[in-house]
A and B are shown apart, each in its own frame.
Chain A
């Protein structure tokens, strides 16, 4: 067998299939995890009937959704209505092609011999970040078309909200990503991780502001609480997927979870050293290498996913104009200003990054400490009218 066939066809296809299956599986399991975590936040039990303590609940849900009626409204734009979920799903899965999950990985296969390949679905593309931003923003078409094609006003409003929201938050997200690129001098995700090893510091420290901007935008991009306006169930019934049912609805649902995984993985890669262990250059922490790189990545991604769920359990939902104001009036200027800061630090090299990181970390810790120590705000107070009802109208 020729090497080129092996390296250009067989291995990528295998990896793609594995990646697809794993992502679908993880997205499914994530729904279960989300429900259990939310339940824990909400003093209740969550699904605990199917399988051991509800462990198979997600499988039951999948079966239920597949067997449900796939309903298309009679006045809907049929083709668009049917294709829209795929248009959302495809980009969500495509971006996994460029996400690095670990360093090069060798395996000895029978008949073929030793094969070394990076743990990617496809390849280490040198413009991976660009590709990632470009592809993931295509997903919005699916949402708009799904909302429009349903011929429902709620869906339409949901689709429009989604369009405005996604486009607005692409901008601060882009600037946040640029900060990471500046620090690493590369668009390649693998190079960014390697740069963090070389700098000896996760980019989250010098890029603290960029990280927050990125993650907030990421939450908005994935339409999650507190930015879940496109599907705000108490306002728009279910937003853009109001008229969807059965497995097409499930595809929207899965895409949302796949997108959450993407955002978490990219955040990990750009700012938390990808598969690197904490403080990759500190020698005495070498015992941490016992944990394989992919496990580190998984751990960090899970942490972000938990934060997603935590948000959902904690926050109310923003209003549309407030969401826009946050995006354009807060995140955009902050991420732009941060870009300047990071650019100067990066000019100075690794030392600059360390200094900036130290300063930001201290400031952040100080802020937390201050928030903790300052006197508690008074609880919401109303004035109390005592005995006589004095107010006259």
Chain B
């Protein structure tokens, strides 16, 4: 099942997935030979601790662009993101909130605007109040383990008044950094942000009640991070430290236990 995972969209740090239409090769997945398995671990940078990652996350291609991927076969070419910074909505946003639009792209008909974290709330207020994006459909995050601002917090907005138009905001947030909360704009963000906080460990500044939501309160770790093992961790250690010392919980001594990531 571990099929090689190729580059995960090698990030250009400040504006992830910059529109750069020229980078034809860029999203074209590296796909370093289906040989995969054994070999690919090799190029993995330090952070990756060896084992056969079946998270499909590992082995992101080296940072800068992708000069070396061997002969990117055009097989999964599919659609490419196109620049969309001249859309009226994007222009209006850039005008109303200076600096709010770092980049804008369109992919399979979906508009994505990259917003710097510090401008997020202003941009959201603008979109909600002026552009009638009153309905926050979804808010979640993506973990780009190897990228510098590690996480993307992704908001997906809907406007009833604009004929069911939708737009995605993407905010790059570094590890340990906090993302401004948009609960003041859409109450609906409340649980969704808690979920991101719980599963990714991205704190939201200004959130009224930032607690874990899906895992239990004493849980340690953030399960949806790519370096969190799929089979889980010893949660017993956190509750019953005397009965389950760190690393000694159920399955801790299992020789077959794989440490992923």
Contacts and interface: CB of A to CB of B under 8 A. Distances in A.
Query: Are chains A and B touching in the complex at the 8 Å CB cutoff?
Result: yes
A389 B158 CA distance: 15
Contacts of B164: 389
A389 B163 CA distance: 9
B161 interface: yes
B240 interface: no
B188 to A, nearest CB: 13
B134 interface: yes
B161 to A, nearest CB: 5
Interface string A371-393: 00000000000000000010011
B160 interface: yes
Interface of chain B, helix or strand or loop or mixed?
Answer: loop
A76 B164 CA distance: 58
Nearest to B134: A393
A296 to B, nearest CB: 64
A389 B160 CA distance: 9
Interface in B121-138: 134-135
Interface string B133-146: 01100000000000
Contacts of B161: 392-393
What 4 A-B pairs have minimum CB-CB distances, sorted nearest first?
A: A392-B160, A393-B160, A392-B161, A393-B134
Interface residues of B, number: 5
6 contacts: A392-B160, A392-B161, A393-B134, A393-B135, A393-B160, A393-B161
A100 B212 CA distance: 66
Contacts of B134: 393
A391 to B, nearest CB: 8
A392 B134 CA distance: 10
Contacts of B135: 393
A392 B164 CA distance: 10
A393 B135 CA distance: 9
Nearest to A391: B160
A392 B160 CA distance: 6
Contacts of A392: 160-161
B129 to A, nearest CB: 14
A393 B132 CA distance: 9
Nearest to A393: B160
B64 to A, nearest CB: 46
Contacts of B160: 392-393
Nearest to B164: A389
Contacts of A393: 134-135, 160-161
A392 B162 CA distance: 9
Interface in A341-392: 389, 392
A77 B101 CA distance: 66
B42 to A, nearest CB: 54
Contacts of A389: 164
B160 to A, nearest CB: 5
B4 to A, nearest CB: 45
A392 B165 CA distance: 13
A254 B135 CA distance: 55
A393 B136 CA distance: 13
A389 B134 CA distance: 16
B164 to A, nearest CB: 8
A56 to B, nearest CB: 47
A393 B162 CA distance: 11
A392 B163 CA distance: 9
Interface in B154-211: 160-161, 164
Nearest to B162: A392
A62 B165 CA distance: 65
A286 to B, nearest CB: 76
A305 to B, nearest CB: 49
